[in-house]
Structure 1
Amino acid sequence: MNKRLVVLLGMSLVSSAAFAQSSVTLYGIIDDGLTWTSNQGGKSAVQMQGSISQGNRWGLKGAEDLGGGTSAIFRLENGFNVNTGTLSQGGRLFGRLAYVGLSNDHYGTFTLGRQGEAVGDYIGALSANGTLPGGILFPHPGDLDNNGIDFRLNNAVKYVSPTIAGLTGVAMYSFGGVPGDFNKNSAKSFALQYVGGSLQLVGAYTSIDHPATAVPEGVWTPNNTVNGNYGLAASSYKVLALAAAYTIGSARFTADWTHTQFGGLDPTLGAKINGHVTFNIAELVASYMVTPTLQLGAAYSYTQGNVSATGKSPHYNEVDASVDYLLSRATDVYASATYMRAGGGAVADLAPVLSPSSSQNQLALRLGIRKRF
């Protein structure tokens, strides 16, 4: 009887220890505020908008220690519209992220599910969109390179290496799921990051086959004209990107460059022309912590496009200034001003959350509050 009691007590202690080594965390971000725009379709507008500084979300993430430096991990992340209560990301319950996998201290992390691609996750994090509270009002024009993370990849297998001498590698593949055509609707994405002291360097690449059907929530729909006279429905989509960040005291400077190509434009896919369209985008960002609770930020980006079928070269100059004040570690209020001037036959179109201007110019002013939990 005493032996049985000892065995049961031992099993209970082991079970309790196992549960103690598991964790589940609830987290989220709620952003809301007012945006004034100088010109949307020829008229000014005042709108209450959420998900500007960061996308509104709530999520669950967890890890279970399996021993030997290995953990089972998962993450489920929901996106929502704070002003209407509706789901974002096309009405998906966990449209931002949904994956499960294994992580090992020595061999890296392997995950399966719906996940972010490398350009948005790594280059976007160093851009004005990822570092200043103007957020989604300052993505690259039309979010052509997914700098603002307008899409994620479904059916994705992702590997993140351990960090060795400051270097971390990322590789992922998204299965297209088309019977008899393994490549159709598939996607590949890679990144290499170096972090050493005050310096951070990142390179990333993403390629998607038939993006309009592989990732329908992206920017390649026929009504995304960018320069007013062609759609971006293509048979292929490729982005090559580089970024760097350097911190000096209370100041941080970042720079990024992306090369985006929509290849095989085809009217049967919804495009208005044949051929291909390319965009080169360069951006500089600076931020400074005046006090531990007050940040000032500024950014500039230039976009140069080329339309092979017409020879047109749409281009865009964009500037941004912001003030961010921390009420606490989890709550801040901010103000931002963003201005775009388009050329080469293009009209100004600051962000997917706004309608295009009827002219070459568009200005957006924003007051917002952001709460993290």
Structure 2
Amino acid sequence: MKKTALVVAALAGLPGSSAFAQSSVTLYGVADVGVEFANHQKGAGDSVVRMQSGNLSGSRWGLRGAEDLGGGMRAIFALESGYNVDDGKSGQSGRLFGRQAWVGLSTAYGSLTLGRHNTPMYDIGVQYDPMGISTRYSIGVQDDVFQSRADNSLKYTGKFGPVTAKLLYSFGADGTAGTNGEVPGHFTVGREYGASLAYESGPLAVAAVYDEQDGDTVASEGDRTRKAALVGTYAIGPTKTYLGYRYGRTMTAPLNQTTNLYWAGVQWDITQAWSLTGAAYYQDFRASGADPWLFIVSGGYAFSRRTDVYLNVAYTRNKDDSNLGTGGFGSTVPGKNQTGVLLGIRHKF
């Protein structure tokens, strides 16, 4: 993404600022909007034609900054806010910077930041989902853990040659959810932690990731949701293939639920401007016949590095009372299949 860098050297002209190290702030963002058709809507099962913001990419604007502190150390921060292009509203209820908000230090040994972060599971999804965990029409439809963020968290990221390691610990993953997190005497309420380890060399990239979340109230703090994934990609010329598996177990007394999610896909850069992506996702809910499929084909044309148009076609195949729609579970009539077609434009700045 091409970004406009704003070097705040003007600070050097302020009183008492002559000792300031070199700093920079970058303003960046995405505006993504399209028109969608989708049938078998929940309720009466009618079709709908609607405008949707944030499709291939969540519409957002943000600020990133760094200050050189000397000796190979930098202070770093990020503030990122989501919004809706179709109506101009904030994309996160109750949050100004709902996508990211963190500050920390970076050295040759990695970075440590504090605030609201994308989880390691989110970061893995961006790289190893054929659709790049787009807001709709992606692996996030089958499991929103790949689109998860955590409040009140510490995150470490270290890169050592071809290996990248990430660790995250949250004292309360959702600060807007009532008593979630940082409750005196109940330190596990709303707690989340995760880790990932990735290896990338030449055409091959592989990774493993783990995430665990505890119940978000004092009454449910004994609940656990554990998820782990093994993923990989391999590039051959203009094509890249994707394979992935996610194990999930939700332990909510007195019931336990185990799920297995599989996916595969191919990206093909036909020319410098034209691209085509195909992906399939299947989720097995153990001890249940409600095991849905999601199929996606996405074609794009890039006018430039910053502006492109795209056409997404998706189909969900539901079994028994499964209700997976192109926008996630609960977005279609139980047992009905759903077709979605989306034509959109995206601009990056």
TM-score with structure 1 setting the length: 0.81
* Residue of structure 2 aligned with 1:156, choices 144, 153, 156: 153
Letter in 1 for 2:213: I
The answer as to 2:223 corresponding to 1:204 is no
**Structure 1 residue 24 displacement after superposition:** 0.1
Equivalent residue for 2:296?
A: 320
Indicate how the Cα distance of structure 1 residues 142 and 250 shifts in structure 2: closer, same or farther if over 3 A, else same: closer
* Residue of structure 2 aligned with 1:64, choices 63, 67, 81: 67
* Residue of structure 2 aligned with 1:302, choices 258, 261, 282: 282
**Structure 1 residue 139 displacement after superposition:** 3.1
Letter in 2 for 1:361: N
**Structure 1 residue 63 displacement after superposition:** 0.3
**Structure 1 residue 245 displacement after superposition:** 1.0
**Structure 1 residue 83 displacement after superposition:** 1.3
Equivalent residue for 1:230?
A: none
Q: Is the 8 A contact 1:28 1:372 kept in 2?
A: yes
Alignment of 1:172-321 (within 5 A): 172-175=168-171, 176-211=181-216, 235-265=223-253, 274-306=254-286, 311-321=287-297
- CA distance in 2 between counterparts of 1:278 and 1:65 reads 47
**Structure 1 residue 368 displacement after superposition:** 0.3
SS at match of 2:325: coil
**Structure 1 residue 145 displacement after superposition:** 4.9
Indicate how the Cα distance of structure 1 residues 167 and 299 shifts in structure 2: closer, same or farther if over 3 A, else same: same
**Structure 1 residue 195 displacement after superposition:** 0.9
Structure with larger Rg: 1
Equivalenced residues, count: 323
Q: Is the 8 A contact 1:234 1:262 kept in 2?
A: no
**RMSD after superposition:** 2.3
- CA distance in 2 between counterparts of 1:277 and 1:234 reads 15
Letter in 2 for 1:292: Q
Q: Is the 8 A contact 2:280 2:295 kept in 1?
A: yes
Indicate how the Cα distance of structure 1 residues 247 and 18 shifts in structure 2: closer, same or farther if over 3 A, else same: farther
Equivalent residue for 2:34?
A: 33
Encode CA deviations 1:34-61: one digit per residue, 9 max, x unaligned.
Answer: 0100211211110100111111100000
Letter in 1 for 2:202: G
- CA distance in 1 between counterparts of 2:320 and 2:141 reads 16
SS at match of 1:121: helix
Indicate how the Cα distance of structure 1 residues 125 and 280 shifts in structure 2: closer, same or farther if over 3 A, else same: same
**Structure 1 residue 352 displacement after superposition:** 3.7
- CA distance in 2 between counterparts of 1:171 and 1:353 reads 29
Equivalent residue for 1:171?
A: 167
- CA distance in 2 between counterparts of 1:354 and 1:336 reads 20
SS at match of 2:138: coil
SS at match of 1:123: helix
Indicate how the Cα distance of structure 1 residues 333 and 353 shifts in structure 2: closer, same or farther if over 3 A, else same: farther
SS at match of 1:315: coil
Encode CA deviations 1:65-117: one digit per residue, 9 max, x unaligned.
Answer: 00111100000000111112111222300000000000012x11000000011
Equivalent residue for 1:5?
A: none
- CA distance in 2 between counterparts of 1:261 and 1:341 reads 23
The answer as to 2:336 corresponding to 1:331 is no
Indicate how the Cα distance of structure 1 residues 83 and 334 shifts in structure 2: closer, same or farther if over 3 A, else same: same
Encode CA deviations 1:255-301: one digit per residue, 9 max, x unaligned.
Answer: 11111222115xxxxxxxx4011211111110111110110111111
SS at match of 2:324: coil
Identity %: 34
**Structure 1 residue 353 displacement after superposition:** 9.4
- CA distance in 2 between counterparts of 1:321 and 1:300 reads 9
Q: Is the 8 A contact 2:323 2:330 kept in 1?
A: no
- CA distance in 2 between counterparts of 1:95 and 1:143 reads 22
* Residue of structure 1 aligned with 2:91, choices 78, 88, 93: 88
Q: Is the 8 A contact 1:51 1:81 kept in 2?
A: yes
Query: What 5-or-longer segments of structure 2 have no aligned partner?
Result: 1-11, 172-180
- CA distance in 1 between counterparts of 2:58 and 2:153 reads 21
Letter in 2 for 1:98: A
Q: Is the 8 A contact 1:99 1:115 kept in 2?
A: yes
Letter in 2 for 1:360: K
Q: Is the 8 A contact 1:187 1:207 kept in 2?
A: yes
The answer as to 2:347 corresponding to 1:342 is no
Indicate how the Cα distance of structure 1 residues 365 and 164 shifts in structure 2: closer, same or farther if over 3 A, else same: same
Letter in 1 for 2:138: P
Q: Is the 8 A contact 1:141 1:349 kept in 2?
A: no
**Structure 1 residue 141 displacement after superposition:** 7.0
- CA distance in 1 between counterparts of 2:28 and 2:289 reads 44
Q: Is the 8 A contact 2:163 2:197 kept in 1?
A: yes
Equivalent residue for 2:118?
A: 116
- CA distance in 1 between counterparts of 2:334 and 2:189 reads 37
